[in-house]
């Protein structure tokens, strides 16, 4: 079995590679990543020399690179993590999000059609559903809800999802889609909420919180997410969408306070800043479908997952400090200059 993991030098993609190499040691895994600002080859250092792993630097929107890779490798399964994913960046520059998230997905599926695969899996986001009101805790995102994206980022991901389903119906491409809630865990890029707050707290810097911090997210530990995708690509029904949620709803302010408490820093470090444009109020997923059909449930409660995450960042300061300093972007040259 040979699997292409796109965006595998990013946070969730890298954790998925680690999971798959442990769960399926007989699989061959190829990682395709453009190593843009959020891709960090150092994250994959522990697997770079494994005989069943190969890294390829390339852009999923580059048709020539993608088709040559498919021609050479003959993949069985493609899992597409490659995406621009930061809402604030999408507000500043929507174009790159459309290129990578929509056109890149199209190029991958064109290659799948050309060379044949057993499964194309699109890793999506719950943000395509828009948001839920704070005063209705009984409401959850389900797979049959309409897509009402709020940001250029979520709109690009919703567009990609629609394109994936269109390729399934039009060309018979064997596809599945998953839509997850907010992930956290080891190797997350430091611009995201949890690693940013950990890094700032450890440095005694102010912790910026949008608005009043009341926005609620459903937090999903990354390893639980990886287990879910593993199940979907092997046992999920072709043409179906599966929501993956953590059953761990927390407001942004509560998350920041938990982090400060865990690292022994005062809440006076919290600084409220102007709210994000179009800031979604609440995300919450109903994972009933994936539980009933595939037997998946999240195993990591937030109280445990956040401790594991903080401990990892404490033990791996060089990894995230290299990112903050920008030195991580030199890692590719160091790795490949003599190869």
Q: Which of 212, 217, 201, 214 is nearest to 273 (CA)?
A: 212
Instruction: Please give the backbone phi and psi of residue 309, each rounded to the nearest 5 degrees, phi first.
Output: -70, -50
The sign of the CA dihedral 175, 181, 185, 189 is positive
Q: Are 217 and 279 in contact (CB under 8 A)?
A: no
- Write down how long the chain is: 339
* Integer Cα distance of 261 and 254 in angstroms: 10
Reduced 3-state DSSP string for 266-324: CHHHEEEECCCCCCCCECCECCHHHHHHHCCCCCCCHHHHHHHHHHHHHHCHHHHHHHH
Residues labelled as active-site residues? 126-127, 153
> Which pair of tokens denotes residue 69?
């890779």
* Integer Cα distance of 187 and 146 in angstroms: 32
Q: Are 31 and 8 in contact (CB under 8 A)?
A: yes
């Amino acid at each position: 079995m040979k699997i292409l993991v796109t965006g595998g030098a990013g946070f969730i993609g890298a954790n998925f590679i680690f999971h798959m190499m442990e769960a399926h040691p007989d699989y061959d895994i190829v990682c395709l990543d453009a190593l843009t600002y959020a891709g960090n080859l150092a994250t994959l250092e522990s697997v770079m020399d494994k005989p069943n792993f190969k890294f390829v630097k390339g852009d999923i929107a580059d048709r020539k690179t993608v088709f040559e890779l498919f021609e050479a490798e003959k993949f069985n399964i493609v899992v597409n993590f490659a995406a621009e994913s930061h809402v604030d960046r999408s507000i500043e520059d929507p174009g790159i999000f459309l290129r990578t998230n929509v056109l890149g997905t199209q190029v991958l599926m064109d290659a799948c059609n050309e060379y044949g695969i057993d499964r194309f899996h699109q890793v999506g986001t719950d943000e395509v559903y828009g948001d839920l009101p704070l005063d209705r805790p009984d409401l959850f995102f389900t797979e049959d809800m309409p897509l009402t994206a709020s940001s250029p980022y979520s709109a690009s991901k919703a567009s990609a999802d629609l394109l994936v389903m269109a390729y399934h119906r039009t060309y018979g491409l064997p596809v599945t889609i998953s839509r997850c809630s907010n992930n956290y865990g080891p190797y997350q890029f430091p611009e995201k909420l949890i690693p940013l707050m950990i890094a700032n707290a450890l440095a005694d810097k102010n912790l910026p919180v949008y608005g009043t911090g009341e926005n609620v997210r459903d937090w999903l530990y990354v390893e639980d997410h990886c287990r879910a995708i593993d199940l979907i690509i092997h046992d999920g029904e072709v043409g179906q969408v599966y929501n993956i949620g953590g059953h761990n709803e927390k407001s942004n302010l509560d998350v920041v306070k938990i982090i400060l408490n865990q690292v022994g820093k005062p809440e006076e470090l919290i600084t409220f800043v102007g709210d994000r444009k179009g800031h979604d109020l609440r995300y919450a997923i109903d994972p009933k479908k994936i539980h009933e059909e595939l037997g998946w449930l999240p195993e990591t409660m937030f109280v445990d997952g956040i401790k594991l995450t903080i401990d990892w960042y404490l033990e791996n300061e060089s990894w995230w400090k290299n990112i903050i300093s920008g030195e991580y972007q030199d890692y590719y040259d160091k790795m490949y200059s003599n190869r």
